[in-house]
Amino acid sequence: MDVSACTVKNELMDWQMKVDKVMDKLDAAPCGDKAKVLPEITDLQILREELRGRVESLEAECRVAQEEKKWIEGKISYVQRPVIPGCGCWC
């Protein structure tokens, strides 16, 4: 997994916030109004949970990708260091 997982995670978090705002407005609506859109409310609740699950999964993938990138960069910098101190070359 590359670092693009972090980008997808951030985008899904934005959508999650939008769904949460809609749900907050629906929670504040009178019961009669909620009854009219009950199937949509149920769909939004399912969507909210699916988004949360995917964001959690992507957070883990993003963390692993960043750790792998740091590990690889560390190995590269180790290989590129001068073998003979003060030489400035790989010899």
> How far apart, in whole angstroms, are the C-alpha atoms of residue 13 and residue 20?
10
Q: Which two tokens stand for residue 27?
A: 């929670």
Residue 48, number of CB atoms within 10 A of its CB: 16
Contact 67, 2 (CB under 8 A): no
Instruction: Answer whether 0.85 is exceeded by the pTM.
Output: no
pLDDT tens profile 42-54: 999 999 999 999 9
> What does the chain come to in residues?
91
pLDDT of residue 21: 92
For the chain, state the CA radius of gyration: 24
Q: Which two tokens stand for residue 34?
A: 């909620």
